[in-house]
Structure formats: structure tokens, C-alpha cells
Amino acid sequence: MKLEVADLSFSYEDQRVLSGIDLEVGEGELVGVLGPNGCGKTTLIKCINRILVPGGSVRFGGHDVARMGNTERARLFAYVPQALSVGMAMTVFESVLMGRRPHVRWGVGESDIGMVSAALERLKISHLAFRKVTKISGGERQKVVIARALVQDPSLLLLDEPTSALDIRHQLEVMQIIRSVVNQKGIGGLMAIHDLNLAGRYCDRVVVLHNGRVAGHGPPSGILTEDLIRTVYGVSARVGREDGYPLIVPLEPVGSE
């Protein structure tokens, strides 16, 4: 099923954050949302998931997301926030199992338990299954919330900086998992991400936000140019190629002495 966003806008009180946002995410496609701090990446993800209520149109599989109930939307969309709330003293296993909640009617079954075990194994956190979420690191908690999204068995992944708390090795592992899930299950993925090189390597397309509007969209190799990086980020950079992917080397802030 396709995600279609048309003329989306959002304001916090009298401050306009997003204006005229158009984008699509197809089946088996991972789309990265890029842009500097404060450009509206997180706000866009939250608007699509109806955590925030935007203007404009958001449709999924031809259906208006605004008309969907919370349970229906939770069966279709899995949302990965920047950080997992640790207010409740759940174990890692219990926290991941919460991802099955939209699908459970009478009680947790063997298939639900199996999906949780498989997700923990895939994220390489099986050894943490019975640890309290409050007792693990920030990077480990980020893997927990990704595992919870996977067991939700969604048709669309909405990811807000999924690698932000991870070191280089774990960033690559998580991006490979996200990419393989999108490919194998034929679902869509929309991901807010800061790292231009990760986006260039793993995303099919990128949408670059600047001052609340789309400054560019398309395949990373065509969009992530030195001119765009200078305009959007205020940074001079050298853009090369490595194995066919764009390789961005930041040099210095524009105008620095």
C-alpha cells in the first residue's frame, strides 16, 4: 500500500513549521527525510501518524488516515520514536511484546511469543530479554523500540532518528535490518535521519526539508549535491562516490574564517 501526503501543513500555535509538503512512499521503498535541526522532520513523522493533527491530506492505501481509528492505524503503522519511554518498569521482552497489542484479541499466543523472540534475536538483544528497560543503555533501548515496531507487523514503518543513540557498528546493523525488512516484507518506510551518508547508502529516495518546505526530493545520488548541502545546511562539503553511493565529507560552515 502507498502512503500519499499532499499539501501537508502544521503550526505550533502561531509558528508555522511545515508548509505544502508533498511526498509518497511506495511498497518496498525506504524514504529518508533530511534537513537541519528544527526543519520539521520529527513533526512530519508525527503528523503522518496523527500524533499531531496537520492540515492537508494523508492517505494510506487510498484511505484517509484522519478517518482511521487508533487500533486500525496501529495495525498499519509502526512508529519508532527517538527514545523509548522508560517510565514503566517492564522487562525488554514485555516492552517488545507490547507491539503485538493491536493484533491481540483474547490473549497472547505462541505465535506472538515467537515473533518477539525472533525480533530480539534479529536485533541481537536476546540476552537482555528479562532485564528491566530502565537498566539498559540508551542504545539498547533504541534497539528495543525497533524490535517492538517489527513485531507490530506493520504495512508502514515511521522512524524518527532510529540510529541517533547508536555507535557506528550498531547504526549499520540497524540500517541493514530496516532495509531488509522493507525489502523482504514489501512494506514502506519513512525515516527522519540526520546522517547524510547513511541516508545515501540505504534510502531509495530522500526528501530534504528547509524552512518547513521541501527543498529537494529524489534518489540520494541526484539530490545530495554540494550546492544543496551548502544551501540547506550552511556547510561546504565535498560529495564523491563510494560503491555507487554518495559519500559526503563536510568541510566547514559557510562563512567561517
pLDDT digits (tens, 9 = 90+) for 220-257: 999 999 999 999 999 999 999 988 899 999 999 987 65
Identify the pLDDT of residue 231.
95
Average pLDDT rounded to a whole number, residues 205-232: 95
In this structure, of 41-50, 100-109, 136-145, 225-234, the range with the lowest mean pLDDT score is 100-109
Question: Cell 505544502 maps to which residue?
Answer: 20
Identify the pLDDT of residue 77.
95
Structure-block grid coordinates of residue 82 = 527517538
More confident residue, 8 or 174: 8
Identify the pLDDT of residue 103.
77
Identify the pLDDT of residue 240.
94
Give the model confidence (pLDDT) of 19-55 as tens digits: 999 999 999 999 999 999 989 999 999 999 999 999 9
Vertex 246 angle, CA 243 and 249, to 5°:
115
Torsion of CA 145, 208, 197, 234, to 10 degrees: -120
Average pLDDT rounded to a whole number, residues 12-16: 90
Whole-number average pLDDT of the chain? 91
Cα dist from 72 to 68, 69, 203, whole Å:
6, 5, 27
Identify the pLDDT of residue 243.
86
What is the CATH architecture assignment of 3-253?
Answer: 3-Layer(aba) Sandwich (3.40)
Sequence ranges of the domains in the chain:
3-253
Identify the pLDDT of residue 104.
73
User: How far is the C-alpha of 49 from the C-alpha of 77, rounded, in Å?
Assistant: 7
Confidence of residue 88 (pLDDT cuts 50, 70, 90): low
Q: Are 217 and 224 in contact (CB under 8 A)?
A: no
Confidence of residue 166 (pLDDT cuts 50, 70, 90): confident
User: How far is the C-alpha of 3 from the C-alpha of 27, rounded, in Å?
Assistant: 9
Identify the pLDDT of residue 257.
54
